[in-house]
Amino acid sequence: MDYDYDIAIIGAGAAGYAAAIYAGRSGVKAAVFDKGMGGGLATEADDIENYPGFKKIKGPELMERMKEHASQYAEMKFLEEVKEIVKMNNGFELKTSNRSYRVGAIIIATGTEHRKLNVKGEKELQGRGVSYCATCDGPFFVGKKVAVIGGGNTAISEAIYLKDIGCDVTVIHRRDELRAEKVLEEEAKSKGVKFIWNSVVEEIIGNEMVSGLRIRNVKTGEINELEFNAVFVSIGEEPNNEIAKKIGIELDEHGYIKVDRMQRTNVRGIYAAGDITGGIRQLVTACGEGATAALAALEVIGKRNPFS
Ligand code: NAP
């Protein structure tokens, strides 16, 4: 069959790049589509300390290295959003913001996006003190009072980063214990990050810029207004599952794509890898899933998996 690409990979994060390397090295024509410039959410990470081979590396640097590596093996199609997948007799038609392509197999590696608080002031003040990325926007608030909302690894890593660059940091968490790894919690506390427990944000206050937060203690019901110059919302992620949904791919109860051990979805010829499949959601697991998906996808384009 004459395809534009044997394998189309949607999403240029860690999973997509790893898939591209394994697809290209297996001798198939592959392309990676990304609506932005690639790198995924890891480009927002400051120090990454758990990617084997690098004791400490900045998120943007690691992702740039992956991009360069993957570019040797697959075409990179940045700023080209995949809008729809259409099932054909043989393979698929991929409709993007630029044109349509005939492809043999598809790997969905679209990852996740930041979950929103959905409170008054969040949308209105986004970019004016409301941020979802400490490494991107933190430097604007050096010497200022900032709040980080959330208790997971991202929230605490961001709090540490903000403290390190000289912000006055308070973490506001809805429970009285963190979800984050102990090592991060201890580092944050030792560096002087402050914590407000059992509290949720009711409103982000401000006219031109954020000036404070209205928070509610979930145990006592007490409402407080506190002054802050910025708020970093780090309350987890939502899966980017729109194109998967449209073609009838089975999702779990949280909206993540269900896959088998070879990263197959319920639609033959479509695989998924990385954060979009839920679970552990680490760079190292995303790479493993991307590699597996690329090798598994060879089965529908008549190529041999060199590792099986
Ligand atoms: P996460 O682990 O899902 O944590 C989200 C946090 O936000 C939780 O503490 C949660 O509270 C809180 N939250 C959720 N919805 C909320 C709401 N509506 N209002 C207030 N608080 C809310 O998300 P994440 O920290 O972004 O991490 C995502 C994935 O990336 C995880 O698998 C994480 O391990 C990984 N990651 C790893 C590292 C690392 O290894 N160093 C760094 C960053 C991220 P509850 O705890 O009460 O549920």
Determine the topology of domain 116-233 in CATH: FAD/NAD(P)-binding domain (3.50.50)
pLDDT of 86 over the 90 cut: yes
- Ligand 1 pocket test, pick from 153, 177, 277 with the greatest ligand atom count within 8 Å of Cβ, gives 153
State residue 246's pLDDT score: 96
Q: How large is the average pLDDT for residues 157-173?
A: 97
Residue 6 appears among annotated catalytic residues? no
Residue 136 appears among annotated catalytic residues? yes
Residue given tokens 């690329």 in the structure block? 294
Enumerate residues lining ligand 1, CB below 6 A: 50, 115, 117, 149-155, 157, 174-175, 179, 200, 234-237, 281
Cα→Cα distances 261→167, 257, 264, 288, 296, Å: 44, 13, 7, 11, 10
For residue 235, the ligand 1 atom closest to its alpha carbon is 7
Q: Of residues 6, 34, 46, 137, which has the active-site annotation?
A: 137
Q: How large is the average pLDDT for residues 86-115?
A: 97
Tokens for 111, please give them.
């990852």
**Rounded to whole angstroms, how far apart are CA atoms 278 and 4?**
30
**pTM across the whole model:** 0.84
Residue 46 appears among annotated catalytic residues? no
pLDDT of 305 over the 90 cut: no
Listed in order, the ranges of the chain carrying CATH 3.50.50.60 are 5-113+237-300, 116-233
What CATH number has the domain spanning 5-113+237-300? 3.50.50.60
Residue given tokens 């409301």 in the structure block? 130
Q: How large is the average pLDDT for residues 256-282?
A: 97
Nearest CA to ligand 1 atom 13: 235
State residue 260's pLDDT score: 98
The better pLDDT of the pair 307, 289 is held by 289
Nearest CA to ligand 1 atom 37: 153
